[in-house]
Amino acid sequence: MANVAVVGSQWGDEGKGKIVDWLSQRADVVVRFQGGHNAGHTLVIDGEVYALSLLPSGVVRTGKLSIIGNGVVVDPWALLEEIEALRERGVDLTPDNLKLAENVTLILPFHGYIDRAREEARGTAKIGTTGRGIGPAYEDKVARRAIRLCDLADTACLEERMEQLLFHHNAILRGLDAEEIDGKALMASLKTLAPKILPFADRVWERLESARRDGKRILFEGAQGAMLDVDHGTYPFVTSSNTVAGQAAVGAGVGPGSVDYVLGITKAYTTRVGSGPFPTELNDEIGQGLGERGREVGTVTGRARRCGWFDAVMVRQAVKVCGIHGIALTKLDVLDGMESLKICTGYHLDGEHIAYLPAAISAQASVEPVYETLEGWTDSTRGARSWADLPATAIKYIRRIEELIEAPVALLSTSPEREDTILVRDPFSG
């Protein structure tokens, strides 16, 4: 039995929530390994819509262990609100079925304030962050001044850590002539929070090793997408963590050999939220139509997503960087009824043809897509559950994508509903 890592192969919003939920019926443990509550995973189950931000997508299934790994930055107040909201809808979440890595970094209230203030100061050069404090929290983690979950259990340690943290941030706020952080009020808030959140704390690395030894299937769930990776994405218009598959091991506390299969979630067209380069973006009625039919609005932010043609160059690069074994192609039904479709097969840059997305900021902004046109289809693919239900031209489109990205389709999603999924190859079979 294989353990599977699920990652986005584009700029996020590829439909990871539904796929992870669908896969979780085959898994015993579901682990979220990076990001924060800037992620938005939408599940549609029997007509009920669940929008998750921090919680792993397996929480709506009974009998599964859900884990938030050390690679995530956690707003504990937001997490408790999300837990309570699901409890009110009948989802049973307790320290028995939800574990939180004891060494996870906490997002504190002032992180969001700093995040939003910086974004506003950038003016037209905004990165497009959600303003929820994810970036500043990761900065504190790397700078070794962060507050971690385990610190809440030791008041003396917490006070010492807080003093170091505020020494840094208040110095900057004074320089900006901004209001400083009230350390006493924050400490009081954390002491009130501690007994509510600490019961979920666990040695996640040890629990995962035990699950692996017992032959249990582990599903590693990523957030955002490969092109938002802080190292491999469209920097600086990226998130503040590593979103590629290699982070699954680091962010969960397991060895790299624990991940047997990498599934790249891939939308049948391309979308992006926020600022940054987007070679295949369509600023016309076609792009508008994709957005309307695909209901392309951010789960967390409510912002409309930018839409464009499928970019095989970008996805192929993600396949290589992430070591993707197969993809789950989502939202094929959004392309129903289009007479023709385009796929980006390369770029032109300064008079040269290239087959990769360059790293330089100016080059990323300057590439021009090279397109291949394919015939569309008029029949509906929505709700299809077998290849026999698909139009021949839709199958041709899928096969061409496989050729161009150099990875096979393992799963095909034809609607937001859990069961409207065509299984080509079970990732858990290795």
Q: Work out the number of other CB atoms within 10 angstroms of the CB of residue 386.
A: 9
d(CA 123, CA 85): 35
Cis peptide before 76 (omega within 30 of 0): no
One-letter identity of residue 229: D
CA distances from 364 to 52, 132, 358, 359, 367 (A): 32, 27, 6, 7, 6
Choice among 13, 21, 28, 420 that is catalytic? 13
- Helices then strands, counting H and E runs in the chain, come out as 12, 20
Choice among 41, 169, 232, 325 that is catalytic? 41
CA 180 to chain centre: 33
Question: Concatenated DSSP letters for 50-81?
Answer: EEESSS-GGGGSTT-EEEE-TTBEE-HHHHHH
One-letter identity of residue 251: G
Active site residue 168: no
d(CA 23, CA 62): 14
Active site residue 41: yes
Q: Which residues are identified as catalytic?
A: 13, 41
